[in-house]
């Protein structure tokens, strides 16, 4: 499906800068600016800016992994260089039509985006934050913020933007050496966006650990700029970890709790759970007396649940802490930049950053115009085999095969990977089908659409493009009891092939509609910053008419029915999101009820079953003496109502305690539950 769920992530600017286009100095003369989009070290697109008088025209296009936005913008600027008119048209990453507009006339702001239309009459200065703008020219907003006393200005449709200067940076390119200034833009979304301006206030680059948007002629600074993004993000999360992490230098007793037993799939009688260092030291009757010097946490009759496993992540610093706060203490990474992932694991393991335990999967992709620029890209069967050897030597547990791989290379690659002790999983490469991958020896299929496409595609159709998503419109006509469907399912059962269906991402793709809250976000969207709330009312796919709407809704019904059919046939379902985990993972688990699983069965699958699947059940997966202290506290009974896991009061990961209500405001999130009472020893 995706290495990132909805759009290209320039790290944390995916939601800050990418929805808040930034401008240029208010010079009157005509000018042009040209930028290159670089992902994983590969040039994948451009942004060209032409200014004529007070009019600015922008052409923005990039393609990675066979998709990306194609957009045009036109702005009219006032004498101060601020927009009085703004038009954005084109298509988003997954094809949703973009038709956004903004005007400011006689003190009244009017706008239309995918959520609908709005107006406002700001009493003072206010900045319109475009929903679908390009990350162009930081001067437009930065200039206004830099001129403000506290560098914070109200935003439209809501919230506020703030700017922080970080440091001066020396860069060198075709134009020679120059000094640029790095900034962080915050307030509209979960994380800041990081960018650099030149000495005239025009954008030089927007940066993240994996992607860079940089002035043409300075592409050679890609690695340096990505390293800066890692540095700025790390500094932020190091401070948050220092403030949020509670490493008590004493035994911790959590009293008056019932423990979810994933083997019995029920709650225990009231217990006291003791933690000493990184491990659970005892699970005792609630009446057991405390010993001197303990920290006591009152569970108030709540439930302790073992830490959850998110089995389809592409984890970065921006979602590491959010996953822990959501009770996800282990994440299987399904493909990442090798150095970025290694650095993140090192910082988490050392306690510098909050984050889950990470299980590493090596991403292997064939080189093509449609490649996902991630992991290791290969040109031959031997290079693919060498990639598997590379990952095995570096303690990766699995390989993930991707779309542009030559299907003829797969049998030899799978044979070598299994000889190396690697678990084999992946997409179905273009021009083949799931049946061939099952026969070649896949242990696990990735994404339900990758299997189902083999039942509806014609020979020669290219799934390296958006076709692997748009062809799902054909699913309503599919007979799920047909011979080809049953043959695939029978082969999976016979060969014990599992599947990571990524249920929630298909719900978002197929059921999100402009102006309506994404069904998977209904329960928590009101707690989110304005930028997330707007994105929640935005379609992913292009819904051109009533026929498209009906086809995509029917496709989701078929997806749900297929996952249920697989479950009932005995195929083992693996819970993962490919959408960053955290809140979306809670939705992923809820959707498994559509497959016929009870809340208790789902919680077992997300905890103990996954620990067994990854051969970690001796130390994780349940709350027992001697296991790692990875669990979370909720007030309700999740075996009766799975939604109870959304209101988390406490999370322990590796014996370190976090209280989400204390941390969520740092992300602009309204807490879902209160902190339990904590009594420190005298």
Give the residue-averaged pLDDT of 39-57.
94
Distance separating alpha carbons of residues 292 and 368, to the nearest angstrom: 65
Mean pLDDT of the residues in the chain: 93
- In the block, tokens 């073992």 appear at 306
Contact present, 139 and 24 (Cβ < 8 Å): yes
pLDDT for position 202: 87
Residues 219, 222, 224, 226, CA torsion sign: positive
pTM of the model: 0.93
Has residue 535 got a pLDDT over 50? yes
pLDDT level of residue 142 (50, 70, 90 thresholds)? confident
Has residue 217 got a pLDDT over 60? yes
Burial class (CB in 10 A: 0-12, 13-18, 19+), 175: exposed
pLDDT for position 551: 98
Between the alpha carbon of residue 680 and those of residues 292, 654, 657, the distances in Å are 11, 20, 13
Residue 656 inside a domain? The answer is no
Give the residue-averaged pLDDT of 155-165.
93
pLDDT for position 11: 33
Give the residue-averaged pLDDT of 117-139.
86
pLDDT digit string, tens, across residues 427-454: 999 999 999 999 999 999 999 999 999 9
Q: How many domains does the chain have?
A: 1
Complete DSSP assignment for 220-264: GGHHHHHHHHHHHHHHHHHHHHHHH-B--SS-EEEEEEEEEETTT
Residue 135 inside a domain? The answer is yes
pLDDT for position 127: 87
pLDDT digit string, tens, across residues 250-268: 999 999 999 999 999 999 9
Residues 457, 463, 465, 469, CA torsion sign: positive
pLDDT for position 340: 86
pLDDT level of residue 682 (50, 70, 90 thresholds)? confident
**Whose CA is closest to 21, among 58, 64, 62, 46?**
58
**Whose CA is closest to 549, among 511, 503, 517, 518?**
511
pLDDT digit string, tens, across residues 643-679: 999 999 999 999 999 999 999 999 999 999 999 999 9
**Whose CA is closest to 126, among 82, 186, 171, 163?**
82
Residue 239 inside a domain? The answer is yes
Has residue 140 got a pLDDT over 90? no
Q: DSSP character for 537?
A: T
Has residue 10 got a pLDDT over 50? no
Beta strands in 323-356 (DSSP E): 328-333
Q: What string of H, E and C letters represents the secondary structure of 400-436? A: EECCCCCHHHHHHHHHHHHHCCCEEEECCCCCCCHHH
Determine how many CB atoms are found less than 10 A away from the CB of residue 401: 29
Tokens of 325: 């706060």
pLDDT level of residue 23 (50, 70, 90 thresholds)? very low
Strand, coil or helix: 72: strand
pLDDT digit string, tens, across residues 467-524: 999 999 999 999 999 999 999 999 999 999 999 999 999 999 999 999 999 999 999 9
How big, in percent rounded to 5, are the helix, strand and coil portions of the chain? 30, 30, 40
CA angle 369, 371, 376 (to 5 degrees): 130
pLDDT level of residue 138 (50, 70, 90 thresholds)? low
Q: DSSP character for 124?
A: S
pLDDT for position 139: 65
Largest CA distance in the chain: 79
Residue 294 inside a domain? The answer is no
pLDDT level of residue 22 (50, 70, 90 thresholds)? very low
Has residue 181 got a pLDDT over 60? yes
Burial class (CB in 10 A: 0-12, 13-18, 19+), 151: middle
Complete DSSP assignment for 567-625: HHHTPPB----SS-STHHHHHHHHHGGGGT--HHHHHHIIIIIHHHHTT-TTTSSS--T
Q: Which residues pair with 171 in a beta bridge?
A: 178
pLDDT for position 564: 98
Residue 625 inside a domain? The answer is no
**Whose CA is closest to 268, among 245, 237, 299?**
299
pLDDT digit string, tens, across residues 320-367: 999 999 999 999 999 998 988 999 999 999 999 999 999 999 999 999
Give the residue-averaged pLDDT of 20-31.
50
Contact present, 188 and 15 (Cβ < 8 Å): yes
Domain limits for position 222: 31-243
pLDDT for position 282: 98
Distance separating alpha carbons of residues 603 and 619, to the nearest angstrom: 18
Q: Which residues pair with 89 in a beta bridge?
A: 72, 99
Residue 171 inside a domain? The answer is yes
pLDDT digit string, tens, across residues 182-208: 999 998 899 999 999 999 888 999 998
Distance separating alpha carbons of residues 291 and 271, to the nearest angstrom: 16
Distance separating alpha carbons of residues 185 and 189, to the nearest angstrom: 10
pLDDT for position 125: 86
Residue 69 inside a domain? The answer is yes
Residue 141 inside a domain? The answer is yes
Distance separating alpha carbons of residues 183 and 197, to the nearest angstrom: 8
pLDDT for position 29: 66
Distance separating alpha carbons of residues 596 and 412, to the nearest angstrom: 37
pLDDT for position 21: 33
Cβ neighbours of residue 573 closer than 8 Å, sequence gap 6 or more: 498, 499, 501, 563, 566, 567, 592, 595, 597, 605
Q: DSSP character for 288?
A: P
CA dihedral 229, 231, 234, 238 (to 10 degrees): -150
Has residue 13 got a pLDDT over 50? no
């Amino acid at each position: 499906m995706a290495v990132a769920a909805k759009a290209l992530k320039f790290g944390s600017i995916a939601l800050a800068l990418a929805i808040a286009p930034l401008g240029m100095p208010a010079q009157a003369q005509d000018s042009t600016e040209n930028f290159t989009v670089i992902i994983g070290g590969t040039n994948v697109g451009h942004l060209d800016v032409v200014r004529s008088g007070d009019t600015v025209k922008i052409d923005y296009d990039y393609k990675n992994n066979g998709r990306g936005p194609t957009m045009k913008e036109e702005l009219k600027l006032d004498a101060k260089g601020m927009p009085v008119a703004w038009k954005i048209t084109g298509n988003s990453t997954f094809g949703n039509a973009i038709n956004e507009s903004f005007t400011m006339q006689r003190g009244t702001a009017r706008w239309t985006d995918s959520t609908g239309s709005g107006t406002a009459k700001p009493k003072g200065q206010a900045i319109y934050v475009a929903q679908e703008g390009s990350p162009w020219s930081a001067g437009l907003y930065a200039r206004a913020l830099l001129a403000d006393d506290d560098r914070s200005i109200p935003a439209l449709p809501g919230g506020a933007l703030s700017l922080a200067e970080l440091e001066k940076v020396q860069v060198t390119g075709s134009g020679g050496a120059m000094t640029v200034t790095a900034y962080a833009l915050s307030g509209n979304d979960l994380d800041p966006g990081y960018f650099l301006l030149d000495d005239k206030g025009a954008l030089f680059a927007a940066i993240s650990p994996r992607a860079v948007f940089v002035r043409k002629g300075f592409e050679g600074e890609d690695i340096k700029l990505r390293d800066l993004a890692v540095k700025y993000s790390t500094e932020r999360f190091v401070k948050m970890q220092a403030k949020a992490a509670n490493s008590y230098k004493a035994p911790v007793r959590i009293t008056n709790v019932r423990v979810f037993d994933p083997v019995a799939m029920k709650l225990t009688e009231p217990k006291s759970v003791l933690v000493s260092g990184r491990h659970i030291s005892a699970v005792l009757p609630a009446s057991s007396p405390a010993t001197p010097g303990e920290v006591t946490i009152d569970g108030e009759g709540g439930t302790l649940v073992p830490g959850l496993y998110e089995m389809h992540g592409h984890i970065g610093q921006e979602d590491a802490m959010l996953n822990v706060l959501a009770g996800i203490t282990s994440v299987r990474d399904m493909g990442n930049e090798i150095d970025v992932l290694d650095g993140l694991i090192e910082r988490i393991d050392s306690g510098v950053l909050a984050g889950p335990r990470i299980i590493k999967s090596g991403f292997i992709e064939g080189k093509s115009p449609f490649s996902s620029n991630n992991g290791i890209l290969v040109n031959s069967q031997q290079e693919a085999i060498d990639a598997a050897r590379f990952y095995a030597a570096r303690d990766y547990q699995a390989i993930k095969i991707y779309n542009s791989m030559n299907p003829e290379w797969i049998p030899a690659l799978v044979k070598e990977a299994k000889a190396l002790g690697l678990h084999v999983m992946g997409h179905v490469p273009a021009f083949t089908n799931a049946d061939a991958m099952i026969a070649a020896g896949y242990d696990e299929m990735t994404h339900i659409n990758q299997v189902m496409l083999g039942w509806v595609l014609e020979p020669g159709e290219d799934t390296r493009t958006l076709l692997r998503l748009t062809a799902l419109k054909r699913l309503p006509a599919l007979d799920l009891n047909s011979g080809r469907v049953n043959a695939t399912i029978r082969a999976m059962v016979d060969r014990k092939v599992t599947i990571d269906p990524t249920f929630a991402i298909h719900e978002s793709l197929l059921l999100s509609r402009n102006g309506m809250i994404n069904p998977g976000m209904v329960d928590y969207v009101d707690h989110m910053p304005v930028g997330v709330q707007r994105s929640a009312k935005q379609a992913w796919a292009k819904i051109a008419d009533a026929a498209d709407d009906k086809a995509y809704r029917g496709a989701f019904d078929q997806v749900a029915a297929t996952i249920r059919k697989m479950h009932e046939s005995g195929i083992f379902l693996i819970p993962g999101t490919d959408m960053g985990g955290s809140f979306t993972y809670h939705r992923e688990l809820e959707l498994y009820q559509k497959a016929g699983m009870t809340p208790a069965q789902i919680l077992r699958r997300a905890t103990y079953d996954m620990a067994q699947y990854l051969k970690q059940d001796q130390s994780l997966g349940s709350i027992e003496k001697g296991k790692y202290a990875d669990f979370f506290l909720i007030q309700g009974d999740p075996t009766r109502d799975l939604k109870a896991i959304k209101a988390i009061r406490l999370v322990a990961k590796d014996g370190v305690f976090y209280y989400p209500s204390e941390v969520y405001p740092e992300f602009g999130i309204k807490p879902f539950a209160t902190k339990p009472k904590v009594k420190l020893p005298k």
